[in-house]
Structure 1
Amino acid sequence: MSRSSHLRAAAACGAIFVMSIGGLAACSKTTTDKVEDTTTSVVADASAAVSSIGADMDANKTQDFVTKAAIANMFEIKTSELAVKTSKNADVLAFAKMMIKDHTAAGKKFETAVAATSGLTPPAALDDDHQKKLDDLATKTGTDFDKAYVDIQQSAHSEAVSLFDDYSKNGKDAALQTFATNTLPTLQAHKDKIDAFKE
């Protein structure tokens, strides 16, 4: 082979080598871009998932408050209506009438706050646990009834104060948080009165 042929062959090989290197570089860049795009996508998806979980937790907490507040209000009214029909104790009757008046008013404000919040549904009836307590109370008479009613109201108001205090501080729905904050002093006053109750 002549010198010129050798030179042409070498040049061709060099060109092929350069093209190969360039192809590898391009391939490497493409792979890097894909990895970066995938990483960005994964981070974005994770961030969206965390935001979604946070929103779901907030929604669950709000629905939990709505459910428990509605049941507590109904329970205190129903047990107090039963007390008005059953008890002969003047102090019990006075407290029961106050419960009906105050919790009926609170119930109306509650309905307004719930109406301002989309997607929330308060229960229309007591849950099984509270219905059983109401049914058990209905079987009692005289001083047994009065004692059971007072015990129920003490327990119910302890739970209600805790529930409303927590949502007034940590609630995410503005209308319901305002309702909880404004209702809490009344619930606390009820709790103080029933805790100091003397038959």
Structure 2
Amino acid sequence: MKTLKNLALSGTMLLSGLLFTTNISAQEQKAPQLTDPEIASVAVTANQIDVEYAEMALKKSNNKTVKNFATTMKNDHNAVIKMAVDLVTKLKVTPKTNAVTKSLLDGAAKEKAILNAKSGKAFDKAYVDNEVAYHESTIKAVESILIPQSKNAELKALLVKAVPIFKTHLEHAKMIQKELK
């Protein structure tokens, strides 16, 4: 896993780039400071990326379990996006693109290229492995960065509400991951 320092330099890391490693000093372990509009952008973008991964799995996979999981991912993440869009509309806040959002999109483009190059069981395994890693890093980032930095109580509540959904997804993905080994 790369450090935040590398995230700032490369701008191409996924949400896991927001997380800390033990290989760097405490002074270097600084989370990016985000405003509520930037947090909203990160939240919507992270969920949209997982919807896109799910849509890819629905097209490429022939495995019923993987397809069912992808359908759940698509439906649940679209529901979270709708809640976020409804909230920012209510609050009259425009999500603001930022370095983290751009990093998520860059990382997703790379991961999609990797997934597109695979088929059959290799695709299924790569998709589910990515879902495990993506949900682990997303949960950590939401809990350690997005929730603590949220100033608006309703935005914070939405993020808190989403965490159990993401944890359920993670456990589901881990179960499928074991089946695919």
Pairwise CA RMSD: 2.6
Q: Give, in whole Å, the separation in 1 of the partners of 2:49 and 2:156.
A: 21
| Structural mapping, 1:7-156, within 5 Å | 60-115=34-89, 116=91, 118=93, 120-121=95-96, 127-156=105-134
Q: Which residue of 2 aligns with 1:160?
A: 138
Moved more, 91-100 or 134-143: 134-143
Deviation track 1:136-181 (CA, whole Å, cap 9, x = no partner) reads 2112100110011011101110122112223335522222101101
Distance 1:151 1:64, change over 3 A: farther
Is structure 2 residue 136 aligned with structure 1 residue 178?
no
Q: Which amino acid aligns with 1:146?
A: D
Higher helix share: 1
Structure 1, unmatched stretches of 5+, are 1-56
- Which protein shows a greater Rg? 1
Which deviates more from structure 2 when the two are superposed, residues 112-121 or residues 150-159? 112-121
| Corresponding letter in the other structure for 1:113 | L
Separation of aligned partners in 2, 1:190 and 1:136: 22
Identical-pair percentage: 25
- Give the 3 Å change call, closer, same or farther, for CA 189–90 of structure 1 in structure 2: same
Structure 1 stretch displaced more, 169-178 or 85-94: 169-178
Counterpart Cα distance in 2 of 1:118 and 1:108: 15
Which SS does the other structure have where 2:77 is aligned? Answer: helix
Return the offset for 1:193: 1.0
- TM-superposed CA distance for 1:68, in Å, is 2.6
Q: Any idea what the Cα deviations from partners look like across 1:40-99, whole Å, max 9, x if unmatched? A: xxxxxxxxxxxxxxxxx9972534433332221111111110101111111111100000
Q: 2:126 & 2:118 partners in 1: Cα distance?
A: 8
Residue-pair matches, total: 143
Report the CA distance shift for 1:127/1:90 in structure 2 as closer, same or farther (over 3 A).
same
TM-score, normalising length from structure 2?
0.69
Distance 2:51 2:119 in 1: 18
Instruction: Name the amino acid aligned to 2:169.
Output: H
- Give the Cα separation in 2 of the matches to 1:89 and 1:161: 26
Deviations 1:104-142 (A, max 9, x none): 111100112223153532589862221111122112100
Given that 2:54 and 2:71 are in contact with CA atoms closer than 8 Å, whether structure 1 keeps it comes out as: yes
